[in-house]
Structure 1
Amino acid sequence: MSTQAIKFKNVAWDNAGILHFPANFNESKKYATVVTMHPIGSCKEQTAGNVYGKALAEAGFVVLAFDASFQGESGGTPRYIENPYQRTDDVRYAIDYLETLPYVDADKIGILGVCGGGAYSLNIAMTERRIKAVVSITGVNFGRLLRDGFAGGSPMEVLNNVAAQRSAEAKGGDVLTINMLPESVEAGKAAGIEDIDVLEATDYYKTSRGQTKGGATSAVYSRMAVGMGWDAFYLSETLLTQPILVVIGDKPGGFGAFRDGYEIVRRAASAKKELLVVKGFSHYELYDQPEPVKQALEKAIPFFKENL
């Protein structure tokens, strides 16, 4: 299997991506293709690309893993903006690019996302009908997560603080970039953090287990208001009709993938929808640990082969 670094046009900048090709790739053939979306604070070289993207390519799909706008190697300033509307719109430009490739079967494009990328994938499928099937791996509704306190306070507290910070920056003040995780697992525990998701996220992103240059785990604070008012599942009862596979672990943590998984499967209008609960594993174990990933892929690969 081989890979190719690519770029595709967005509104006013380029997004960086990696194409993963199946073994014995033949450019004269047409391939079912999967776009992968990385988690919040992640990048194309981490779980969505180097674990799930790689495995899907080995299973015979062409895969495009790409960095979100303002993140990783993609363009856009200021850096580290996490804007759900832009994050989902990135996918439209990714598909535009894929449709220019002679070996991509434009009638067989699916999407897989991990963590925040999982909910983003479900959301964009509602209005991007070129997507024919969706897999969400431990998907988290980013707007719900922010409103539940991940942004550092109650919604109104955060929105007022964000407004003040944006005004300060508009007048020439320094851009405030916050790190969403403690510096280490030990530092998190010392600060009184007990939540499994925060500690395991830190173990993934801040150690050799998953740490990469593009996975910054940072966000521009003054741009967080837009996420606070966003809901990944809004209108899913009406607009989410494609086949969906939602994978969650049964060890719930503070980021809420467990509850979000049950909610979207209940609410989606899809005639074909499946919830896989991987027993005995957590949110971050589904990122890269062999056994839960194996169980997820044993469902995801046949799912895409059947529905693309």
Structure 2
Amino acid sequence: MDREDIEFDAEGVTLRGWFYPAAGGGRRAPCVVLAHGWASTKEMYLDDFAAVFAAAGLASVVFDFRGFGASDAAAGKPRREIDPWEQIRDYQHAITYAGNRPDVDADRIGLWGTSYSAGHAFAVAAMDRRVKAIVGQTPLISGRRTFEAFVRADIVNPALELLATDRAARARGETPGMIPVVTKDPTAMAALPTAESYAYFTIARRDRNPAWLNEVTLRSMEHMYGYEPGPYLPKISPTPLLMVVAPYDRLTPGEWALAAYETAAQPKKLVMLPGGHFSVYTGESFKLASSAARDWFAEHLLAR
């Protein structure tokens, strides 16, 4: 499918991505804005979701957050630093870019997020009424609970001390500390210390983005520890919400997502998928997740 390489400004930072036109063309189409989760780039399967949406008559803006993939980092900031609030603003800049395109209907914009970025999508949808429909799949609900679930109880305090040491070092002008996103050794320190995470990133790098680097800044972990997108869910209404949950998800536990879903008001819908956190990107779970999102956006954007 034809797509256009794009770039747009985000408070002085150039973000880059792809624009997928809606099938049919010749009209101002509804548009879905997509960005990936923790440390991933757009090449890691987001093109597959955008192609499904485009075939249904939904344009897509797919982009990399600042400091990742094709996008620039802010002046004086390191690459591969995950600041959830900067990423939330990047989503809003992408919405602005989409709405300013002559081939997009600015009154019919949807937002799609996955894992960490699903939490961002909840926050944006609660604050920014330009979003007319939202999909969050395998969502992060609580950064602190997730951090504490990853880190053994006996090393939580040493880990927090490490983050404080890195903060002091950066204040002295030293190079930011980095941590691997994943490791093969489950006992080694990593941002996502699970076998499922290692398998996903290993395969995605091999098959989709060989240039992907297996590291994020230590401060990214500090940001996650203080990030709580779950409380935004009750504030999303009246924007229609679709939540896609994998009950066997152990990275962002499915039971946390289900409990958070109950706090959201109508209109909303829940879709349950087989498999774990990363199953949604390939195979049968991808077909189910992408078709559920396509149908949700079609119902609430194409029909407007």
Q: TM-score range by the shorter chain?
A: 0.7 to 0.9
1:264 to 249, 260, 266: 260
TM-score normalised according to structure 1 size: 0.87
| 1:219 matched residue in structure 2 | 216
| 1:234 matched residue in structure 2 | 231
1:276–1:141 CA distance, 2 compared to 1 (3 A): same
| 1:176 matched residue in structure 2 | 177
Letter of the 1:16 partner, please give it. R
Shift of 1:95: 1.1
| 1:139 matched residue in structure 2 | 139
Q: Residue deviations 1:229-262, cap 9 Å, x none?
A: 1201224324543111111222231x12412321
1:287 to 281, 292, 298: 281
Match status 1:199 vs 2:195: yes
Shift of 1:155: 5.8
Letter of the 2:80 partner, please give it. Y
Bigger shift: residues 53-62 or 201-210: 201-210
1:300 to 280, 293, 302: 293
| 1:85 matched residue in structure 2 | 85
2:269 to 252, 265, 274: 274
Shift of 1:192: 8.8
Match status 1:116 vs 2:116: yes
| 2:107 matched residue in structure 1 | 107
1:229–1:240 CA distance, 2 compared to 1 (3 A): farther
Gaps of 5+ in 2: none
1:188–1:43 CA distance, 2 compared to 1 (3 A): same
| Percent identity of paired positions between Structure 1 and Structure 2 | 24
Q: Residue deviations 1:63-90, cap 9 Å, x none?
A: 0110011211111131111111111111
Shift of 1:111: 0.9
Q: Residue deviations 1:149-199, cap 9 Å, x none?
A: 4367666544432121121122233321111201xxxx336x599xx9822
Q: Contact 1:20–1:57 at 8 Å: present in 2 too?
A: yes
Secondary structure, aligned partner of 2:185: helix
Q: Contact 1:116–1:142 at 8 Å: present in 2 too?
A: no
Shift of 1:143: 1.5
Letter of the 2:130 partner, please give it. R
Shift of 1:213: 4.3
Measured in 2, the distance between the counterparts of 1:75 and 1:152 equals 35
Q: Contact 1:73–1:214 at 8 Å: present in 2 too?
A: no
Q: Contact 2:141–2:257 at 8 Å: present in 1 too?
A: no
Secondary structure, aligned partner of 1:40: coil
Bigger shift: residues 222-231 or 90-99: 222-231
1:151–1:142 CA distance, 2 compared to 1 (3 A): farther
1:66–1:151 CA distance, 2 compared to 1 (3 A): farther
RMSD: 2.4
Letter of the 2:259 partner, please give it. E
Q: Contact 2:14–2:71 at 8 Å: present in 1 too?
A: yes
Measured in 2, the distance between the counterparts of 1:125 and 1:215 equals 29
Q: Contact 1:142–1:232 at 8 Å: present in 2 too?
A: yes
Q: Residue deviations 1:270-291, cap 9 Å, x none?
A: x111111113x22111122x21
Correspondences of 1:26-41 after superposition (within 5 Å)? 26=26, 29-41=27-39
1:223–1:98 CA distance, 2 compared to 1 (3 A): same
Measured in 1, the distance between the counterparts of 2:119 and 2:237 equals 12
Aligned residues: 294
Q: Contact 2:9–2:15 at 8 Å: present in 1 too?
A: yes
TM-score normalised according to structure 2 size: 0.88
Q: Contact 1:166–1:222 at 8 Å: present in 2 too?
A: yes
Gaps of 5+ in 1: none
